[in-house]
Structure 1
Amino acid sequence: MGGLFHRFRPEGSAGDGPAGEWSIPIPTKGARVRRHRLHLPGSLHLLGSLLLVAATGLFTSGAAPAPAPVEPRPLAQVIPAPASVTEAGPPYRITGTTGIRVGDSPAARAAGEYLADLLRPATGYPLPVTRHGAGGIRLRLAHDGPYGAEGYRLDSGPAGITLTAARPAGLFHGVQTLRQLLPAAVEEDTVQPGPWPVAGGTIRDTPRYPWRGAMLDVARHFFTVDEVKRYVDRLALYKFNKLHLHLSDDQGWRIAVDSWPRLAEYGGSTEVGGGPGGHYTKEQYREIVRYAAARHLEVVPEIDMPGHTHAALASYAELNCDGVAPPLYTGTAVGFSSLCVPKEVTYDFVDDVIRELAALTPGRYLHIGGDEAHSTSHADYARFMERVQPVVARYGKTVVGWHQLTGASPARGALAQYWGLDRTSDEEKAEVAKAARSGTGIILSPADRVYLDMKYDRTTPLGLSWAGYVEVKRSYDWDPGSYLPGVPQDAVRGVEAPLWTETIENSAHIDHMAFPRLPGVAELGWSPAATHDWEDYRTRLAAQAPRWDALGIGYHRSPQVDWPAA
């Protein structure tokens, strides 16, 4: 009877309690039943009976109707959109008896423990992670399957759910899909009433591009390890696989370098606006790398050079052509600083920094910046890049640079990150296209599409607008495969959403600028081009809002999306 009911019996009749006692079972969170007993003296027995009969009328005729059952979310209602969806049959319901089976695979166990940790707080269920059993949720690695490095298959039906992948990253991405298929309340950190249905059917899913990145600028404003981890968790939900950390700029140097200690100690001591700044010790950086790797994100560290180097120049006089260290800088201008290209000490500095950073970074890539070197002549810029790119290779990493690198001579296998605009000159675009046709891979980060620090509109309290206003539709509604004229489709490695932090100071600011645009970038990188449809996407995006509320993500309520009532 609507979740609360009672029964009573006359004195002396058979039942589960002594005469004069009424038993009122009240379901509690987690489907457990707590039984409350009312003890009435004999003289009040008849009165008690009448009172309970009256109460029955309250609960059966005057109470609101029982809530409608929770309908499972359709399998296609996730972000990024899956490659293939087949809806079929009744759902599976996660209950107190559900277990997570992982077999003998350590990778499957890691994914299973991650899933259990996600689900336990809100469901209140034990969700044991076991090697054997039947039914429930099964995670399995099938190394000969058609899933690639990151794909997966999800099968759901009344008997259980099976996630299958060829590699651990695929299992992890499948877990994120399963997470989104559950009601948004699953993100809460206290027990919720449920139920927890997952629609029946099959998802077959593989990513469109191997590079699905997000960049966080920790140089303009410094962010703690915990703040970076928080952003990593946001990225993992939407199947990003690269965390690009912008570790140095004019306003701050954020990573300890043993051979040049003043870089972090002095160069990292401030930030935009003159705040205290900060830097990561080597162990703190390793912790970020470990945390990201556990969520299948590869950290791509960036040391921007030869420009954007004022913090380094302020730390060491010998890096300046005149041998004089300038004072620290806390403004927001760009293009005024440069390492001294002719000096040999510059390349000792570069070698030491890259060697130490490469040793800390297990990933394949190291970003050397290269943008907005306006105070460096073109000849010096080309000379610098010819000297620096082989250093990256010597320490076992692949070069990534901003697309100005294509104006020099990109190393074999290098990647160029394009951040231009629709209005960028045809000559500059042609330079990038020529490099792409010669084997340079392209990462697309057009500033007037996916720069998360751009204002949504003129009323946005944070962010910049030099690239224009970037609303949700503009951020989503373009095709990376055909964006740059003359760039072969197979040269496009993927997409990345940079978040520069001249005006961004804390996690709340990050959330407001990243959401709701970040999931759209994820979909551009993961989902087949045929699935990209703004009207369908904006509906799926609106359905994410309760999940963000449960996660504590303060997002921008764009007028382009029909959000649920606040």
Structure 2
Amino acid sequence: MFRLLGSLLLVTAAGAFAGGAAPAPRAAATPLDRVIPAPTSVDAGGSPYRITDSTRIRVDGSREARRVGEYLADVLRPSTGYRLPVTTSGSGGIQLRLGKGSFGAEGYRLDSGSKGVTITAAGPSGLFHGVQTLRQLLPAAVEKDSVQPGPWLIAGGTIKDTPRYGWRGAMLDVSRHFFTVDQVKRYIDQLALYKMNKLHLHLSDDQGWRIAIDSWPRLTTYGGSTQVGGGPGGYYTKADYKEIVRYAGSRHLEVVPEIDMPGHTNAALASYAELNCDGVAPPLYTGTEVGFSSLCVDKEVTYDFVDDVVRELAAITPGRYLHIGGDEAHSTSHEDFVKFMDRVQPIVAKYGKTVVGWHQLTGATPVKGALAQYWGLDSTSAEEKAQVAAAARGGTGIVLSPADRIYLDMKYDANTPLGLSWAGYVEVQRAYDWDPGEYLAGVPASAVRGVEAPLWSETISKSADIEYMAFPRLAGVAELGWSPASTHDWGDYRVRLAAQGLRWDAMGIGYYRSPQVPWESVS
């Protein structure tokens, strides 16, 4: 475990800054070990680097490094007021390099000293994640969209960093309430700051179908026409969805689309009568109850429908995964549920995707390579947990989303104005203070693929709602997914988290000011 207690680095201008700038007032650089997620290792020391009007962002000749360099320049220019040209020539400044090393696909090394900062990675995702660390080493005011006074110091030393898990996700329910492309992009940018790499979009449910399917057009024109409580609903055209996928990719997040089935399907059943066993379409639904709808397992048209939906969605999803839901299918018998999953999982594979399902998938027979997303509680039955553990020992990967830990729609406490409480109250410490590798008895640590924080939208209808429920808990989920278990310490984390509040203020994020966190204020 690294701990650099007392490593607050106070620096003076004399001889410390590159670029020949005039001496600055005494200033503090953020210590290298104060970022979130906690890095794998930190070796602090030496003079800091100061970004000035002569700083260049130097990249190697690769297109990938240039893209990351341009992204960094776009982040820094508004607040610093500097030009920060991205160039392949010269030395010093901020350098982004792709090179060999023990970084893995997403890891990086950051070296900082008086002459510059160098981020080295094996791939573009690693460079991008290193840039997020660099952002957090700068004052929070760097996130503002107007020129700020600085100084812009980056502490001296070396960070070596690789993620613990390959799946570090967040789920956004766009079905119960619809969110626009721009609202989704805003959330993507917030996820990227904390090195998340999966955006799970819950695209269909009883209250709304949100993705255009050409072969079944009424899914959106009718099934997408409402939401919880009524209202216009909405849906993504294929061009909209492709833009979300593109934008997520530019932030090194993979979109995982979900079509929930055989339950949570009232929007589809209302759109097409033939999908119902009795051939009668139910009315559209704007409530919040669950478990009452089901595709007709014995009708062949059901599988024609699933094939068309999966085919069209897979064609516009470059990522590896396609989520088929499977939870709360209370209107489907166990026998029918197993029959349905036996038919549907091969369809996903047919179109080149890997199956992900909620952990009820383990009650059927998960196909080879499938992932099960566990959303149970501490109080979930031993039998159900054992079923998940048996699947994990048989080769099914597990993504952990325990509802009473990291469901972001759970209230913080009884006074929280948004959210639900069926899984209990989830304060910031409860969301952070657990170990994914040891959470489920009988599940081998090697079977755990990572963590994901779902945000269901029964009570969430705008970006401000998303942010209030996600922050500060999302940062803790990101750390659980990225950082070594040896770094997980609530006492240390809450101090690092407190400093993030100033950054969220600068970004215009309205977060929950938990009394468990000693929030910092502008001095």
- Correspondence for 1:113: 70
Q: 1:129 is aligned with what amino acid?
A: V
1:152 paired to 2:152:
no
Which residue, 56, 59, 77 being the options, matches 1:99?
A: 56
Which residue, 371, 382, 392 being the options, matches 1:436?
A: 392
1:376 positional shift: 0.1
1:531 paired to 2:512:
no
Q: Secondary structure at the match of 2:229?
A: helix
State the alpha-carbon separation in 1 of the partners of residues 39 and 21 from structure 2. Answer: 37
State the alpha-carbon separation in 2 of the partners of residues 32 and 68 from structure 1. Answer: 12
Deviation track 1:52-94 (CA, whole Å, cap 9, x = no partner) reads xxxxxxxxxxxxxx99532100000000000000001010000
Unaligned runs of 5+ in 2: 1-19
- Correspondence for 2:318: 362
Does structure 1 conserve the Cα–Cα contact (< 8 Å) formed by 2:21 and 2:52? no
- Correspondence for 2:168: 212
Alignment of 1:39-50 (within 5 A): none
State the alpha-carbon separation in 2 of the partners of residues 295 and 239 from structure 1. Answer: 9
1:485 paired to 2:441:
yes
What is the percentage of aligned positions where both structures have the same residue? 78
Which residue, 458, 477, 480 being the options, matches 1:502?
A: 458
- Correspondence for 1:27: none
Q: 1 or 2 for the larger relative contact order (CA 8 Å, sep ≥6)?
A: 2
- Correspondence for 1:251: 207
Alignment of 1:184-333 (within 5 A): 184-333=140-289
- Correspondence for 1:180: 136
Q: 1:360 is aligned with what amino acid?
A: I
State the alpha-carbon separation in 2 of the partners of residues 340 and 206 from structure 1. Answer: 46
Matched positions, count: 503
Q: Secondary structure at the match of 1:497?
A: strand
State the alpha-carbon separation in 1 of the partners of residues 388 and 174 from structure 2. Answer: 27
- Correspondence for 1:124: 81
Alignment of 1:437-476 (within 5 A): 437-476=393-432
State the alpha-carbon separation in 1 of the partners of residues 508 and 147 from structure 2. Answer: 16
For normalisation by structure 1, the TM-score amounts to 0.88
State the alpha-carbon separation in 1 of the partners of residues 109 and 62 from structure 2. Answer: 17
Q: Secondary structure at the match of 2:468?
A: helix
Which residue, 88, 109, 121 being the options, matches 2:45?
A: 88
Which residue, 125, 143, 152 being the options, matches 1:169?
A: 125
Unaligned runs of 5+ in 1: 1-30, 34-65
1:562 paired to 2:518:
yes
Q: 1:382 is aligned with what amino acid?
A: V
1:32 positional shift: 11
Does structure 1 conserve the Cα–Cα contact (< 8 Å) formed by 2:60 and 2:98? no
Q: 1:348 is aligned with what amino acid?
A: D
- Correspondence for 2:13: none
1:352 positional shift: 0.1
State the alpha-carbon separation in 2 of the partners of residues 301 and 171 from structure 1. Answer: 26
Q: RMSD over aligned Cα, in angstroms?
A: 1.3
Alignment of 1:60-99 (within 5 A): 68-99=25-56
Does structure 1 conserve the Cα–Cα contact (< 8 Å) formed by 2:24 and 2:151? no
Q: Secondary structure at the match of 2:416?
A: coil
State the alpha-carbon separation in 2 of the partners of residues 193 and 379 from structure 1. Answer: 66
Deviation track 1:359-382 (CA, whole Å, cap 9, x = no partner) reads 010000000000000000000000
Q: Secondary structure at the match of 1:274?
A: coil
Deviation track 1:394-421 (CA, whole Å, cap 9, x = no partner) reads 0000000000000000000000000000
1:350 paired to 2:300:
no
Q: 1:87 is aligned with what amino acid?
A: A
Deviation track 1:192-220 (CA, whole Å, cap 9, x = no partner) reads 11110000000000000000000000000
1:243 positional shift: 0.1
State the alpha-carbon separation in 1 of the partners of residues 60 and 233 from structure 2. Answer: 47
Q: Secondary structure at the match of 2:201?
A: strand
State the alpha-carbon separation in 1 of the partners of residues 25 and 84 from structure 2. Answer: 26
Q: Secondary structure at the match of 2:27?
A: coil
Flag the 1:32–1:71 CA change in 2: closer, same or farther, 3 A: closer
Q: Secondary structure at the match of 2:34?
A: coil
- Correspondence for 2:504: 548
Alignment of 1:399-418 (within 5 A): 399-418=355-374
Q: Which runs of 4+ in 1 moved over 4 A?
A: none
Q: 1:199 is aligned with what amino acid?
A: A
Deviation track 1:103-137 (CA, whole Å, cap 9, x = no partner) reads 20111000000000000000000000001111101
Does structure 1 conserve the Cα–Cα contact (< 8 Å) formed by 2:94 and 2:116? yes
Q: 2:39 is aligned with what amino acid?
A: P
Flag the 1:128–1:141 CA change in 2: closer, same or farther, 3 A: same
Q: Secondary structure at the match of 1:466?
A: coil
For normalisation by structure 2, the TM-score amounts to 0.95
Deviation track 1:232-283 (CA, whole Å, cap 9, x = no partner) reads 0000000000000000000000000000000011000000000110000000
State the alpha-carbon separation in 1 of the partners of residues 493 and 57 from structure 2. Answer: 31
- Correspondence for 2:291: 335
Q: 2:95 is aligned with what amino acid?
A: R
Deviation track 1:434-467 (CA, whole Å, cap 9, x = no partner) reads 0000000000000000000000000000000000
State the alpha-carbon separation in 2 of the partners of residues 90 and 546 from structure 1. Answer: 25
State the alpha-carbon separation in 1 of the partners of residues 375 and 406 from structure 2. Answer: 9
Who wins on radius of gyration, i.e. which is larger? 1
State the alpha-carbon separation in 2 of the partners of residues 415 and 134 from structure 1. Answer: 45
State the alpha-carbon separation in 1 of the partners of residues 513 and 369 from structure 2. Answer: 41
State the alpha-carbon separation in 2 of the partners of residues 301 and 246 from structure 1. Answer: 6
State the alpha-carbon separation in 2 of the partners of residues 78 and 504 from structure 1. Answer: 29
